[in-house]
A and B are shown apart, each in its own frame.
Chain A
Amino acid sequence: MKASREWLEEYANIDVDTLKLGDILTMAGQKVETIDLRGNDIKNVVVGKILEIKKHEDSDHLLVTKVDIGKEILQIVTGAPNIEVGDIVPIAKNGAELPNGKNIKTGMLRGVESCGMMCSVGELNIDVNEYQNQIEDGIMILERKDKIKVLANTNLEEHLGEDIVKVLDLKEEVIDFEITPNRPDCLSIEGLGRETAVALNTDFKNPRKDIDEKSKKIEDKDEIEGLKVDIEAPDLCYRYIARMVKNVKIGPSPKWMVKRLKACGMRSINNIVDITNYVMLEMGQPMHAFDIESIEGRHITVRRAKNGEKIVTLDETERILDENDLVIADDKKPVAIAGVMGGLNSEIEKDTKTVVFESAVFYGGSVRKTAKKVGLRTESSSRFEKGLSPENALRAVNRAVQLVEMLGAGEEIKGKIDRYPTKQKINKIKLEPEKINKLLGTNLSKKEMINILERLEIKIEDDIAIIPYFRQDIEQMADLAEEIARFYGYDKLDTTLIKAETTLGVKNKEQKIEDKILETLQNNGLSEIYTYGFINEKELDKANISEELKKLAICIKNPLNDDYKYMRPSTIPSMLSTITTNINKKNKEAKLFDISRRYQNINKNIEKGEVPEEEKILTIGMYGENLDFYIVKGLIENILQQISVNRYDIEKEKNNMSYHPGRCANIKIGKDIIATIGEAHPKVLDNYEINKKVYLAELNITKVTKYARNSKKYVEIPKYPAVERDIAIIVDENIEVGQIEKIITKKAKKLLESKELFDIYRNEEVLGKNKKSVAYALIFRDKNKTLLDEEVNKVMEGIVSELEKDVGAELRK
């Protein structure tokens, strides 16, 4: 909301400069976004008349002019070709300052003295369209005989030498406020004026007292000039007032009004339309003016639109409505979308004679929805949607009628049609100073509190705060506390620390596990990444995500774009895109990890109105030299060791199509898959146009947390000596070492302390085709006694014979 200082001064005496005012209001809760001090940055620029123009002797394009600035004649050299003798132009004298920061000094231009500069519109920070017949690249012409006259009623010839800022009335100090949605009253100069008065601790002048008085006296009528009004949807329309003016003369608005409208960012259209906008800015009540002749049957109905009903709005666009939208209609058609925009069919025309001013209050939620649906967020709708006061509507319409008469734009028709089915409730709140002090942490006296509240026009009667109609946002004690705190000063509040029961600040199991993962992976050279949870079908396909999983993707109704249409059911595509980014950036290697969520609509939770399953996943992605499956496997196993998950199975996984079917494994605890490790499927790499091997892993943090243990237990350091034995066997290539190890473990029972695979050897000539030799160093120990060789021999025999039997192993000698 923009407000000019000049307009605010109508409501409160302002004894600080505008920048300071901005600071004070910001600290009182009306946050200033920008301050425009137009005109203040122009100094020593005056009105001058060109007496003579000659060519510069040493230049093709420069002109030497003589300019009359009242008391003296200046010689000015210029390069602008758009001037003529007799033109009245703005002259920046020696020592002038311009908005662009330029300082003008007398100087020599190709040997000829120039005692100033003629200014363009741009150099004075004036919009080129603000005055007629001006151009961007050239001198601003204030007057040119019979052709240009920027000030219709002023003979500038009489003002030579006078300050241009004064003559053109360029000075305008405008503050742009960010108004919070709870304060629709501050979407008006009146509301901001009230805040200003309280913040500056000065009187609120209330220039509209006359209107307040008059509003009580206007007679209610059922019909005026044959016009009748009915509200069919009182749930959406709280009040509808119509007042009329006759003998209307449509024409331009006076300069002061145009200037104020412009300062607030509105364009002047004609006196009647301008009055509605002016009142909206002044009092915060949007209004609509229409020609009574356009109302068929002279009967206005406020009703829900019919499904599919159409209206062409003032911006000449057809809008299709439904029963959730509220319209103002005559007997045949809608003439306006309530609170949003008027219809083209009822627009004020040049020959309009009788104007109906509509001042109504609609249910904010409905206006908001309609405005959003039809894509029209107007000055009007953005006020209505915050909830306006029905009490204010009457004042506003009376002000409009007053302005019509003031401007000589028409004559008042006595009386009003006022449909007001539900009267606005006035809030009353018990004033409890102790509770307020307790909430704020202050020690204010009741008197101090009442002083602030009364300046905000909150009356206190018998310890009851009676809230004025324009502050519907104040509903309970906390709201009063905020008002008191705002004007006591948030900056005056102390800083204290909580005095209360001690609470424990500790991380939970999953949070601790996450910390361990971060630490382990950072220490292993991996870098953490952050990815978006969004995904699209193409990416899911590129990563070969299974149809089954794709079905669990959650679809966003209003995505930012097609790339971000779903919430990802798998984190693999995000990792692969990041890998691709790094390859495209010519990074030789990247070892990355991501701790983030995947979202799966399991059990149709969303359809049931429940939130879907979100699991926290650690995703690893790596490419570069000296990497293989076993390095990624090692990382995951390191993490599992860190979080004391010691019992798990590693099984080959051939059906996860994101991974190479020969180089992928699941880590399982019972039936739960807690991790998947592997090399990316060559087809997937192709899809991403990656020509390097990429290693991936997913660890389900949510799941693994269940199995993790925080406590480690000491196992006694062995007292009895160990027996070491090596064993080498030849097996078929397709026998997994995991199978061999299972047999060794099973047969050695408790005596096996450790087994280390120290060699896998392949040589067709020595071992035969498709054979490999696998060698283990085994350590046996008995906790309770010294193991005898014979005992170990027996165990070894058992292992060998089982290996021979089960996996066709042959002892290598």
Chain B
Amino acid sequence: MKEQIEEIKKNSMKEIEKAEDLKVLQEIKVKYLGKKGELTQVLRGMGKLSNDERPIIGKLVNEVRDILEEEFNKKEEKLKSEELQKRLETENIDVTEPSKKTELGSIHPITQIIKEVEEIFLGMGYQIADGPEVEKTFYNFDQLNAPEDHPSRDLQDTFYITDDIILRSQTSPVQARVMEKQKPPIKIICPGAVYRSDAVDATHSPVFHQVEGLVVDKNISMTDLKGTLEMFAKKCLGENTKIRFRPHHFPFTEPSAEADVSCFVCGGKGCKVCKGEGWIELLGCGMVHPNVLRNCGIDPNEYSGFAFGFGVERIAMAKFGIEDLRLLYENDVRFLKQF
């Protein structure tokens, strides 16, 4: 019997060795270790053995079973890993083939700049305000210290609907509307479309976009205005951006300034965008005129404030390198998809 066991062991080891796939291996396992397997049969035939032999043979069978099982497991592992290897090889793909993706659309450059500006000012605690585009002259001019016959009404050629209703020539009327309704502290920006009677060309458009800013509170000073705009310029145009204030005049601010920023294309060395000057005229600003505060029911002795406004298209064009303003309103998908 011993010999028989040894024979089984030898044969089965040989067969395991030879087995080339998991199916064959499984058959071999059944053949030797299955319920009707050869080794099991031996175990079953043990009844015929003497009491002395039984434990010896029994032990031997168990030893062989353990060995075989281990061999089976080892072989199984090996075959499995070989099979996986084979599968991996056949499942090879060309990763440089084009991807399958949902085609993305695009956000217009003007919106992109507006969102960027909104982000910066939201972070500084500003709300975003809105107002009508078809506006009353009262808000566009009168409340902003430009009563009828004021020469500043000549600065912009305004589209008139009636004598009292116009297309707003600036986003500033929103200032007046907000101040009328809200008590200080006021911190708002107002992005939106404005209208001026300019014929369409590479740098002009009868419709363009502005972002207006207004802060009214106690103790607001001109250095706060300068600091706020410097912060904005650095965040929007790059950390190295410098800002320069020049005196100017707007009816609704006093003192008034125009702010230039160091050219964010060439860094101030002089290039086509800044016309060699190193500076780009960015915005108009100033301390809210006491007459404007008074008009809107805010006491200028108690409160002060600043306001600023700039054109979005200018920034978009300089930032994205767009040389013709008309591209922004032509809406050719080949243009739009670049953003």
Contact = CB atoms under 8 A, between A and B. Distances in A.
Partners in one complex: yes
Nearest to A365: B149
A478 B290 contact: yes
Contacts of A220: none
B151 A522 contact: no
A439 B222 contact: yes
Given A493-B245, A507-B122, A614 B148 contact: no
A251 B92 CA distance: 100
B328 A485 contact: no
B193 to A, nearest CB: 7
A365 B148 contact: yes
Interface stretch (B13-21, B37-45, B254-262): B254-262
A528 B328 CA distance: 11
A438 interface: yes
Nearest to A494: B223
B314 interface: no
Given A441-B223, A490-B245, A599-B134, A606 B162 contact: yes
B160 A500 contact: no
Counting chain B CB atoms within 10 Å of each CB, the highest count among A29, A387, A522 belongs to A29
B254 A479 contact: yes
Interface string A519-537: 0011111111111111000
Contact of B207 (A364, A498, A532): A532
Contacts of B159: 556-560
B226 to A, nearest CB: 5
Interface in A363-411: 363-366, 368-369, 385-387
A288 to B, nearest CB: 21
Interface residues of A, number: 91
In the A-B complex, the 5 residue pairs with the smallest Cβ-Cβ separation, listed nearest first, are A365-B149, A441-B223, A29-B247, A441-B221, A482-B255
Contacts, number: 251
B167 A567 contact: yes
Interface in A711-759: none
Contacts of A529: 108, 331, 336
Interface in A544-601: 554-560, 564, 567, 578, 581-582, 585, 587, 589-593, 597, 599
A521 to B, nearest CB: 6
B322 to A, nearest CB: 13
B226 A493 contact: yes
Given A478-B255, A496-B221, A497-B227, A590 B154 contact: no
Nearest to A437: B221
Interface string B168-210: 0000000000000000010100000100011100000011000
Contact of B133 (A441, A528, A533, A581): A533
Nearest to A495: B227
A497 B125 contact: no
B304 A180 contact: no
B304 A528 contact: no
B332 interface: yes
B221 A438 contact: yes
Interface of B: 102-108, 110-111, 118, 121-128, 132-136, 148-152, 154-155, 159-162, 164-165, 167, 185, 187, 193, 197-199, 206-207, 215, 217-224, 226-228, 230-231, 243-249, 251, 254-258, 287, 289-290, 304, 328-334, 336-337
A504 interface: yes
Interface of A: 26-29, 31, 180-183, 363-366, 368-369, 385-387, 438-442, 476-479, 481-482, 485-486, 490-491, 493-508, 511, 518, 521-534, 554-560, 564, 567, 578, 581-582, 585, 587, 589-593, 597, 599, 606, 609, 611-612, 614
Contacts of B227: 494-498
A476 B289 CA distance: 10
A581 to B, nearest CB: 6
Contacts of A578: 331
Contacts of B230: 495
12 contacts: A29-B249, A482-B254, A495-B243, A496-B226, A504-B125, A507-B118, A508-B127, A522-B105, A522-B106, A527-B336, A530-B331, A560-B197
Given A368-B149, A493-B223, A578-B331, A554 B134 contact: yes
Nearest to B328: A530
Nearest to A377: B154
A505 B336 contact: no
Nearest to B250: A180
Nearest to B101: A525
